[in-house]
Structures are given as structure tokens and as C-alpha cells.
Amino acid sequence: MMPSRGSARIEAFSDGVFAIAITLLVLEIRVPEVEAGGRLLDVLPQIVPSVIAYATSFIVIGAFWTNHHETFRYIERSDTTFLALNVLYLMCIAFIPFSAALLARYLGQPGNDTVAMVAYTGVLILCSVAFNGLWWYASSGGRLTDASVGTETIRRHTRWVRTGLVLAIPAIVLAFVSVPLVIALYAVVFLVYFVPRVGQLKAKPHRGERRASRP
């Protein structure tokens, strides 16, 4: 008969996991070693695959964080099952630094790079499935959502959450054709995701809003 709870501390804990996972990405970039008498400038380009994996993964985790952030604006309560689903979701997110390191290690090795990219995209799909489950649990029947949010808004957000999952299918297929194309796809998705909504969101000031976002 525990009372239901607000979601502030879950958000803080999740933000911590996101922030750490995204920052740990840098640890997979190794300082290149110069042989005796060698020049750093000659070996520095070795870090390129790692930097690509770093940038891609940073953007991906950043986008997942943005989605999580957005979603919690509609959630008003939490329960133990929701906490558990959120932990499972974070388990997928916190795995990304490993799959990024795998990708960085095998980028540029034909055949192995496809395996690494399929594994990488597979982890993103797991993240997306877990996130869809989390949102489904929270929103179905208005279980944990804010009753003042209209059903149309909820339905639109559901479609939005599902979009990320749908986009992953071509990425898996494309990995067998060309790994660089998959990376380009992620960059395009990032732009498509963030840019076209500028107009909508420029919006008018919303005074007192800042208070509301962190009660």
C-alpha cells in the first residue's frame, strides 16, 4: 500500500546514467603511440575511427536523453514496475559505450565492420524497444501520465517514440551494404530530428515555466 510517487528522483538518477554513459565514450579513444624517433603527426590519423564512433554515439545518446526528457514531461506519477522498466531501459543505454568501442575497433575492416555495426545498431534497437515498453506502460489507460495532457498529444508522442524504432530497420539492412552509409544515416536522422521543429518551438515566452519544470 505504498503511495504512488512523483518522478523527480527517477529523472535525476536517469540523467546521471545518461551523463556518465555519454562522457565515458571518450575513454575508448586511445592516445596513439609513436615509435622511437617517430612523429605524432603521422600516427594521429589513427584516431579517426574512434572519433567517428565517439561523435555518432554522443549524438545518439544525446537524442535518447532528449526523448527521455520529453517523455517525462507527460509523466506525473511512478510505481515500482515503472522504476524496473526504467532500470532495464538504462541498462541498454549504459551498454552503448561498449558497442561504440567495438565499432571504433573494427571500423574500416571489411566484413568485421558489418558485424560491429549490426551489433551497434542492435543495441540501439534494444534501447528503443525498452523505451517503447516504458512509454507504453506509463501511457496505456493514462496509468502514470498527467491527466491534463490531451489524448491527442499522448497519441502523437506515441507515434514519435515508435518512429525511432522503425528507423532502425533500414540501418540494420544498410550495414550489410555500407557501414559509412549507416553512419551518414545517423547524422541525417539527427538533423531531421532536431532542425524542422525549430519553427514550431520558437514559440512565445512562457513565463513562470521554469519553475514548473522542476517543482
Q: List the one residue from 35, 110, 177, 211 that touches its own copies (CB under 8 A).
A: 211
Residue with cell 513562470: 208
Question: Is 197 one of the binding residues for its own copies (CB under 8 A)?
Answer: yes
Q: List the one residue from 49, 53, 71, 90 that touches its own copies (CB under 8 A).
A: 90
Cα of 131 vs its chain's centroid, Å: 10
Count of residues engaged in binding its own copies, rule: CB under 8 A: 90
Q: From the CB of 92, what's the least distance to its own copies, in Å?
A: 10
Q: List the one residue from 52, 95, 136, 158 that touches its own copies (CB under 8 A).
A: 95
Q: From the CB of 185, what's the least distance to its own copies, in Å?
A: 17
Question: Is 52 one of the binding residues for its own copies (CB under 8 A)?
Answer: no
Q: From the CB of 129, what's the least distance to its own copies, in Å?
A: 15
Residues 172, 169: Cα–Cα separation, whole Å: 5
The torsion angle over the Cα atoms of residues 198, 202, 207 and 213, rounded to 10 degrees, is 0
Which residue, 21 or 168, is less far from its own copies as judged by CB? 21
Question: Is 187 one of the binding residues for its own copies (CB under 8 A)?
Answer: no
Interacting positions 137-176 with its own copies (CB under 8 A): 143, 147
Q: From the CB of 151, what's the least distance to its own copies, in Å?
A: 14
How many residues can be counted in the chain? Answer: 215
Residues 143, 165: Cα–Cα separation, whole Å: 23
Q: From the CB of 91, what's the least distance to its own copies, in Å?
A: 4
The answer to whether the beta carbons of residues 74 and 157 sit under 8 Å apart is yes
Q: From the CB of 30, what's the least distance to its own copies, in Å?
A: 9
Residue with cell 534494444: 126
Strand ranges (DSSP E) for the chain? none
Interacting positions 2-41 with its own copies (CB under 8 A): 2-13, 15-27, 29, 31, 34, 39-41
Which residue, 54 or 135, is less far from its own copies as judged by CB? 54
The torsion angle over the Cα atoms of residues 83, 87, 93 and 94, rounded to 10 degrees, is 140
**Burial class of residue 78 in the structure, from the number of CB atoms within 10 Å of its CB (0-12 exposed, 13-18 middle, 19+ buried):** buried
State the cell numbers at 2. 505504498
Question: Is 1 one of the binding residues for its own copies (CB under 8 A)?
Answer: yes
